[in-house]
Structure 1
Amino acid sequence: MSGDGVLHPLVYWAQTDKNVSLKVDISDVTNHKIVVTDENLQFEAQGVGPAGLHSYKFSLDFYGAVDEEKSTYRVLDRNVEISLAKAAKSDFWPRVTYKKEKAAWLRLDFDKLELEDSEGEQEQVQKVDHRAKIKELEKQIIDAQDKAYTDMKTAYLFVYNLLQFIMYTYVSILLFTWFILYGKDDMNAAFERAFYPLGIAQILAVLEIVHPLTGLVKTGVAAPIMQVLGRDLVLFLIIVPIEELHSEPIVCYLFLIWSAIEVVRYPYYIFATLDYDSEVVTWLRYTMWMPLYPLGILSEGIVAHLAIPYAQERGIFSMSLPNSFNFAFRFDYYLYVHLALLVLLGPFMLTHMWKLRQKRFGPKRKVKAH
């Protein structure tokens, strides 16, 4: 990207005595617009370049005149090739641009660059060796940048998944032990101890929507939006404001179910980050959801149903007319909508998880012999 905010692709150029060749390093090109005149080239296209899938553009004012009619271009899968026919065929260009400017995105194409016939054999060997060293250096720099990015991404995802695993494991052990030792007694105390680590973990879980949107992980975004935002809404807009729910055992049951789901999910992500495949962890990841997800959906529905009379009585998050916004909203009505959404979207989530399990553990298709 240049200082003017325009995304430039990498452009490699070389020349012969008859033409100048340009190789625009963009793949999967669409919506391209290439205009060649005798003095200028205007290029604009959408494709995959140095910054990923974006629109790229550049403009070149040529060092010498070109023959507009004889100049051609080809859009290939991996790049765009442009051939500019020189107006004066024997004219040698010391550079491709009219101005003496050093653009970081404009580079020599060493694969096509021809040596001048007047140069001695020893000088040719030295130039070829010099070009090879430059290309190798460029490759090393690119490889080092890619490795640094991969290492940073791996470290970040490992730390994130490990922290989430620790917090959900703490909540699981805490509530499981509490129900064994105290049963349903003093649920307020159990809620207070479990809420803070669970609340922090659920806030951090919003990053799981950001990760696929930014390309940090190669997964879909629909499932995390449904799960993360759905849980956060139940936790922070239904359970937290209505203190009477804090003493309800179903709330701590719901916390335990949520945490049990994540205790088997995050180790799977940790191993995936480290490129390690554990059969036991993978089986738990794609199996434990079968009892836990339906129980979680049922528990969320019970909590939302218990909250309705309190929302009606207190008008929590509700707005009535007249007001400056000329808008009315009843949160207790939304809770009925929330129950309907659980009924409608719950099967979608279960179907999604079942497809993932079938993809991993389903019967293998046999290849027919011809």
Structure 2
Amino acid sequence: MVVPSPFVYWAQTEDAVSLKIDLKNVDQPNVKVLDSKVIFSAQGIGARGQSQYEFALDLYSPVKPNDGDNQPVVMRVFDNRVELSLQKSSGAWWPRLTAQPQKPAWLKINFDLWKSEDMQDSDEETRDIMKDYPGMYDQLHKEELGYRREEFKKVYLILYNLFQTIGFVYVLSVMSVRYSKLGYDSVIDTYEHVGSAMKFLHLMQILEILHPIFGYTKGGPFVPFAQLIGRIFVLFVMIECEPRMQAKPVVFYLFVVWSTIEIVRHLFYFTQLLNKEYPLLTWIRYTAWIPLYPMGISGEAYVMITNIQHFQETQIFNVSMPNDWNFIYNMPTHLRIHSSILVGPGLLFLMTHMYKMMRKRQRTEAAKLK
């Protein structure tokens, strides 16, 4: 009768190897750690149910066995697993756990522990093997899974930026094709043909405010909020709620500028997430904002200023006294204040933020050349 082997999950640091043995209700396991071999046997509940389980591993390099008062082998028994911590005889990263290249089917990699400097509690800064030894980490992933496993949030960000890139390319392509066929006549009904797509893409960009909150991207939520809220106001209030504005050429102009900005931005982020570097794209990303951002903000301000007369006529969104909340709101006054802030402090804030990003990127590139 063949005695089954339990599932064993292994991880390592430069100085130690850990084994997590997937067995429940283990009582007094028998463990022998020799120079380059680990032998384990115990009664417990595993993949085959309640049974006797055992395994033997010929290790890639020697480990320190227990010797008198010196106890480098640490075993801890829990209700649902047994953990072994082995000290390597010489500090070095192993390319694999076993001496032979072929590993048994029940031996798995415990990727959750591969970012830990020490298997024990430690106050020291942890290391990330993905950064320190990227080739080894990729090799282990491919050995275990057949492909390079990515974190969920990275896969999500790749798909998000790809979707946004394709979406804005679609908007710009439709506008370009229509203009090439119809000329200036296509400008008047731009909103009718691509307005829905533009609204959907900007609603999805609300996720970018949540990304830094949940740790998906660096920085804080204020900058993406400040950049997005103005566009949403222009798109959903200034244009969507005023049919006369939808037929004005400024809408075509704004959509071209917005789409160009977003295609460059999301395509750059997409390539960065794939660890691809394209110098031309990087240069465009950190220089195109110089003309495009003032053009976009001036277009948004123009829409607001033009709409002052329209909203004075329609009185839409105005709140007059008396009312239950003792509150008064005048949209034309709002637009005067909003547009003046947008072309003043708003533009200054946005351009300063982009300039800092550009300088930071330049310093990073200069450091790589040293």
Q: In which range does the TM-score fall when normalised by the shorter chain? A: 0.5 to 0.7
Contact 2:158 2:270 in 1 (8 A): yes
- For 2:6, the equivalent position in structure 1 comes to none
- TM-aligned CA deviation for residue 213 of structure 1: 1.5
Q: Secondary structure of the residue that 1:316 maps to in structure 2?
A: coil
Q: Secondary structure of the residue that 1:211 maps to in structure 2?
A: helix
- For 2:153, the equivalent position in structure 1 comes to 153
1:143-162 C-alpha deviation (Å, 9 max, x unpaired)? 38999995211110011101
2:73 pairs with 103, 128, 150, which one? 128
Q: 1:129 to 1:354 in 2, by over 3 A?
A: closer
Q: 1:179 to 1:157 in 2, by over 3 A?
A: same
- For 2:135, the equivalent position in structure 1 comes to none
1:358 matched to 2:328: no
Match runs of 1:58-77 below 5 Å: none
- For 1:185, the equivalent position in structure 2 comes to 185
- For 2:266, the equivalent position in structure 1 comes to 266
- TM-aligned CA deviation for residue 301 of structure 1: 1.0
Q: 1:287 to 1:339 in 2, by over 3 A?
A: same
CA–CA separation in structure 2 for the residues paired with 1:326 and 1:195: 36
AA matched with 2:231:
R
Contact 2:188 2:249 in 1 (8 A): no
Contact 1:167 1:197 in 2 (8 A): yes
Q: 1:364 to 1:188 in 2, by over 3 A?
A: closer
- For 1:94, the equivalent position in structure 2 comes to none
1:323 matched to 2:323: yes
Q: Secondary structure of the residue that 1:268 maps to in structure 2?
A: helix
1:23-64 C-alpha deviation (Å, 9 max, x unpaired)? xxxxxxxxxxxxxxxxxxxxxxxxxxxxxxxxxxxxxxxxxx
1:347 matched to 2:348: yes
Moved over 4 A (4+): 120-125, 144-150, 362-366
Q: Give the total of aligned pairs.
A: 246
Q: 1:144 to 1:242 in 2, by over 3 A?
A: farther
AA matched with 2:110:
Q
Contact 1:186 1:247 in 2 (8 A): no
- For 1:305, the equivalent position in structure 2 comes to 305
- For 1:210, the equivalent position in structure 2 comes to 210
Match runs of 1:107-256 below 5 Å: 128=73, 130-131=75-76, 133-135=83-85, 140=110, 142-143=112-113, 151-256=151-256
Q: Secondary structure of the residue that 1:154 maps to in structure 2?
A: helix
TM-score, length-scaled by structure 1: 0.60
1:124-172 C-alpha deviation (Å, 9 max, x unpaired)? 97x93534944589x9263389999952111100111011001111111
AA matched with 1:350:
M
Contact 2:265 2:285 in 1 (8 A): yes
Contact 1:209 1:225 in 2 (8 A): yes
- TM-aligned CA deviation for residue 358 of structure 1: 2.1
Q: Secondary structure of the residue that 1:130 maps to in structure 2?
A: strand
Contact 1:154 1:274 in 2 (8 A): no
AA matched with 2:359:
Q
CA–CA separation in structure 2 for the residues paired with 1:160 and 1:279: 23
Q: Secondary structure of the residue that 1:241 maps to in structure 2?
A: coil
Q: 1:365 to 1:191 in 2, by over 3 A?
A: closer
- TM-aligned CA deviation for residue 241 of structure 1: 0.2
CA–CA separation in structure 1 for the residues paired with 2:280 and 2:68: 64
AA matched with 1:167:
G
Contact 2:73 2:84 in 1 (8 A): no
1:232-264 C-alpha deviation (Å, 9 max, x unpaired)? 111001110000011101111101100000111
CA–CA separation in structure 1 for the residues paired with 2:73 and 2:364: 56
What value does the CA root-mean-square deviation take over the aligned residues?
3.2
CA–CA separation in structure 1 for the residues paired with 2:254 and 2:205: 17
CA–CA separation in structure 2 for the residues paired with 1:299 and 1:161: 25
CA–CA separation in structure 1 for the residues paired with 2:300 and 2:70: 75
CA–CA separation in structure 2 for the residues paired with 1:222 and 1:268: 21
Greater mean deviation of Cα atoms: 213-222 or 354-363? 354-363
Greater mean deviation of Cα atoms: 163-172 or 348-357? 348-357
1:289 matched to 2:289: yes
Q: 1:217 to 1:175 in 2, by over 3 A?
A: same
Contact 2:187 2:249 in 1 (8 A): yes
- For 2:36, the equivalent position in structure 1 comes to none
Contact 2:178 2:186 in 1 (8 A): no
AA matched with 1:169:
V
1:333 matched to 2:333: yes
CA–CA separation in structure 2 for the residues paired with 1:278 and 1:286: 13
CA–CA separation in structure 2 for the residues paired with 1:210 and 1:204: 11
CA–CA separation in structure 2 for the residues paired with 1:364 and 1:155: 26
- For 2:279, the equivalent position in structure 1 comes to 279
Q: 1:144 to 1:290 in 2, by over 3 A?
A: same
- TM-aligned CA deviation for residue 122 of structure 1: 8.8
Identity %: 33
Q: Secondary structure of the residue that 2:252 maps to in structure 1?
A: helix
CA–CA separation in structure 2 for the residues paired with 1:176 and 1:214: 37
Residue segments in structure 1 that go unaligned for 5+ positions in a row: 1-119
Contact 2:190 2:251 in 1 (8 A): no
1:301-349 C-alpha deviation (Å, 9 max, x unpaired)? 1111111111111111110011111111011111111111212211110
Q: 1:364 to 1:283 in 2, by over 3 A?
A: closer
CA–CA separation in structure 2 for the residues paired with 1:210 and 1:216: 8
1:87-127 C-alpha deviation (Å, 9 max, x unpaired)? xxxxxxxxxxxxxxxxxxxxxxxxxxxxxxxxx979997x9
CA–CA separation in structure 1 for the residues paired with 2:364 and 2:183: 43
